[in-house]
Chains A and B, each alone.
Chain A
Amino acid sequence: MLQKDVLVIGAGPAGLAASIEAGKYGASTLLVDLNMQPGGQLFKQIHKFFGSSAHRSGTRGYDIGKQLLQEAQEANVEIWMQSTVIGIFPEHKVAIEKGLDSGKKEMITIQAKKIIIATGASENAIRFNGWTTPGVMGAGAAQTMINVNHVKPGQQIVMLGTGNVGLIVSYQLMQAGCDVVSLIEAAPKIGGYAVHAAKIRRAGVPIRLRHTIIEAKKGENGCVCGCVIAEVNEHFQPIPGTEETIACDTIALAAGLKPTMDLVKLAGCKLTFNGPFGGYIPLHNDRMETSCLGIFVAGDTTGVEEANTALEEGKIAGISVAEDLGLISPDTASNQRKEIWERLHSLRLGPFGERRMQEKEAVMKEYETCIGAPIPIQ
């Protein structure tokens, strides 16, 4: 059986950052991901990132992705793409369906001293009449089409949701040459950053608050030809008589994300439900270790946030495994973690971050109360 010091699952910002830290300190590190290319969502993020200028802000997402891949190479991280983890067993034996250059798959079992799960999050679907009609898609899918595959999903887009994903993807659809007809938002206010909303409005695109989509209209070609929207009451229920039809060929849904928990559950990590973080998440401590000894988590899997916080959490997980493997001293690890937690703290300040900071602290407190010390996988 192939032996590794560290197995990192998921090659997005959190998994890459964790691999780079572990590899840098000399751990034999394998990073696996089921996608074709590493980088997670970074390569479709063509916008300049917010954050601290000391840490890559003002840099476009794909450039951050390129830098991370370079650093992973320098840290001797081995990367398997199109490779899916299908089982996690006691003694950290992991079954991987490995993608081969030939396009075929091979079953490989490896044993890793430490496992870091950074499987990210997936988009929430919104169900309405006709929601399975071709032309209805997640906003993330539309973003992948334009920015990675360079194919427009359609010409006339209606976007549901005004969180940062809805606002940013709307802007990028316009950059790609699509017409964004309208943004629809059930809440009484815009969810994302004002500066992103301002770009949309400057471009002359209306934002319809207190409205939702109740139906996707199907055209003769079997694809979306319009959508019916309606005003909603304070319980987010459509108000009869307020329906109106908007012509469009694409409906993009930006209704939040939920952490991808399959492997965390498979490993038997203790979970907690957290609404603001998107659903069930693994309890973890300030070293990013779960209730299972030697199994760590980082990034959106621990609660949906954004790439900057994912990178920092990934680093913490990488430092913690290096410490547990005896590659760095507990003092060094502890000091580095302290610095990163300070940066995370500053990223979670302000009206958009405070709630996440409180929730993060609550998750770690629940860990201390309910778990205390991690125990091996049963």
Chain B
Amino acid sequence: MALINTGYLEYDELKNIQTLPDDERFSKGPVAIIECVQEIPCNPCEAACHFGAIQVGEPITNLPTLIGEKCIGCGMCVARCPGLAIVVVDKTCSDTTATVSFPFEYYPIPTVGEERKALNRKGEIVCSGKIVKVVNPASYDHTPVVTVEIPKEFADEVRTVERV
């Protein structure tokens, strides 16, 4: 696995390990992408989802599985995952753009309307992004979920924005 040598996942590598939403599911609206690929004892994502869309089961080292039809892309799991390994991608927000909602635990927290450089899994700049939503209620316990709007073609690549 390239991951243990580099620290990041190639998208193809991720697709081989996790069940990702197909094009049809993406066409229906926002959906969670679980980038958790090692069998570690952890299952808060399962309890975080109010719609039963994430399954871990027993033993708790099972990889989480997303049931695409049940997922509404609400983002509860994004804030709850201790590994910060879940994002929500919406490829339906406009003809040319997509949004990626990701956990962001650095100060300053991005603000709506701000332009920030959007980064991939290696921390490389992919494109410029516009912050369109920041959700940070007490129940998220200091893990703000930030949504960035980017050109649609980068929706599977962009996973965070730069720290400033």
Contact = CB atoms under 8 A, between A and B. Distances in A.
Contacts of A347: 41
Contact of B121 (A175, A198, A353): A198
Contacts of A51: 41-42, 60
B72 interface: no
Given A57-B42, A205-B123, A349-B59, A195 B85 contact: yes
Interface in A186-204: 188-190, 193-204
A352 B58 CA distance: 17
A353 B61 CA distance: 10
B38 interface: yes
Nearest to A351: B39
A202 B85 contact: no
Interface string A176-192: 01000000000011100
B4 interface: yes
A218 interface: no
Contact of A195 (B61, B84, B119, B123): B84
A202 to B, nearest CB: 5
A201 B123 contact: yes
Interface string B36-49: 11111111101110
Contact of A350 (B3, B38, B43, B119): B38
Interface string A312-353: 000000000000000000000000000000000011111111
B37 A202 contact: no
B5 interface: yes
Nearest to B142: A60
Interface string B10-43: 0000000000000000000000000111111111
B141 A199 contact: no
A351 B62 CA distance: 11
A198 B120 CA distance: 11
Nearest to A309: B41
A102 interface: no
Contacts of A58: 44, 47-48, 80, 82, 141
B159 interface: yes
A53 B41 contact: no
Interface string A277-291: 000000000000000
Contact of A194 (B4, B48, B142): B4
B82 A188 contact: no
B82 A53 contact: no
Contacts, number: 133
B5 A202 contact: no
Contact of B7 (A59, A63, A194, A308): A194
A350 B61 contact: yes
Contacts of A205: 123
Contacts of B6: 201, 207
B154 to A, nearest CB: 15
A66 to B, nearest CB: 13
B83 A193 contact: yes
A50 B40 contact: yes
A199 B84 contact: yes
A198 B39 contact: no
A196 B7 CA distance: 8
Interface in B47-72: 47-48, 58-61
Interface in B129-164: 141-143, 159-160, 163
A174 B59 CA distance: 34
A161 to B, nearest CB: 14
Contacts of B107: 175, 177
A197 B37 CA distance: 12
Contacts of A53: 43-44, 46-48
Contacts of B160: 202-203
Given A52-B43, A58-B44, A195-B38, 19 more contacts: A48-B82, A51-B41, A59-B141, A174-B163, A177-B107, A189-B4, A200-B7, A202-B119, A203-B160, A205-B123, A207-B7, A209-B5, A346-B60, A348-B41, A349-B41, A349-B60, A349-B61, A350-B61, A351-B38
Give 6 closest A-B pairs by Cβ, nearest first.
A204-B123, A195-B83, A58-B44, A197-B7, A350-B61, A350-B39
27 contacts: A50-B40, A53-B44, A53-B47, A57-B42, A58-B47, A58-B82, A189-B5, A190-B4, A195-B35, A195-B40, A195-B85, A201-B8, A201-B121, A201-B123, A202-B119, A202-B121, A202-B122, A202-B159, A203-B160, A204-B122, A346-B41, A346-B60, A349-B39, A349-B41, A350-B39, A351-B38, A353-B61
